[in-house]
Amino acid sequence: MSLTDGLLRHRVRRTGVRSSSKPFRPRDVALSYRPITDVWILARPKVKYYGAYPNGFLERALPMIGASDQDPVLHLCGGRTKDYPNKRLVRNAVTVDSDPGTKPDFNVDLSSPDWACGASDNLVTDDWYAILIDPPYTTEDHAKYSAGADLPTANHLLRVGLELVKPGGKVGVLHYVWPQPPKTARSIACIGVIVGFNNRMRCFSVFERAV
């Protein structure tokens, strides 16, 4: 049982409100539903790459999207995900990035509305087990990269992720913004992420695609 499922079952026992014990369908949405909330105080990135995951992030994020170290997880705007210090957590990572210098598995500009037209058939499938998204958050962050792609919005990337993940699968987004899901998905979690004093807090949000 994943951490997400364990937390949701605990919520059912504590509040009596049913949540994700059955697959989500759009008609199941109720006004009483609330996402999981938390705050993670993590270490600064160990990877010498601007925008790398905070150290300790994947240890917490993968269970929240229902993934283990045995599952292939797709990382959109993946950068140097495979250099993450805990190699066990990235040995099955698959990366998508517009910068060929990061040696992604799929070199794709996701900012374009027609991104799928130039993407490999191996990427454009709705059978990915789980997806993580960590793009540049601002134009200032985006200027640190030299790939020449436009800055995609969090809402756009969430929709891309929900198109690619399998029905019932989860998409996690690390951003300053809490993106709004379409009606075919629901919000599972909204978690503050910070790496110490005098740093901006980010939002790690998790969404589940309807079956």
CB contact set of 145 (below 8 Å; sequence gap of 6+) = 50, 99, 136
Domain membership of residue 122 (yes or no) is yes
Residue pLDDT, tens place only, 77-121: 998 999 999 999 999 999 999 888 889 999 888 887 777 776 777
> CATH number for the domain including 153?
3.40.50
Domain membership of residue 16 (yes or no) is no
Sole residue written with tokens 């993940």: 165
pLDDT band at 16 (very low <50, low <70, confident <90, very high): very low
Percent of the chain with pLDDT over 70: 82
Domain membership of residue 18 (yes or no) is no
Bridge partners for 150 per DSSP: none
Domain membership of residue 10 (yes or no) is no
Domain membership of residue 23 (yes or no) is no
Specify the amino acid at residue 197. F
Residue 40 belongs to domain spanning: 35-209
pLDDT band at 51 (very low <50, low <70, confident <90, very high): confident
Domain membership of residue 9 (yes or no) is no
Domain membership of residue 66 (yes or no) is yes
Q: How many distinct structural domains can be found in the chain?
A: 1
Domain membership of residue 5 (yes or no) is no
Burial (CB < 10 A; 0-12, 13-18, 19+), residue 59, is middle
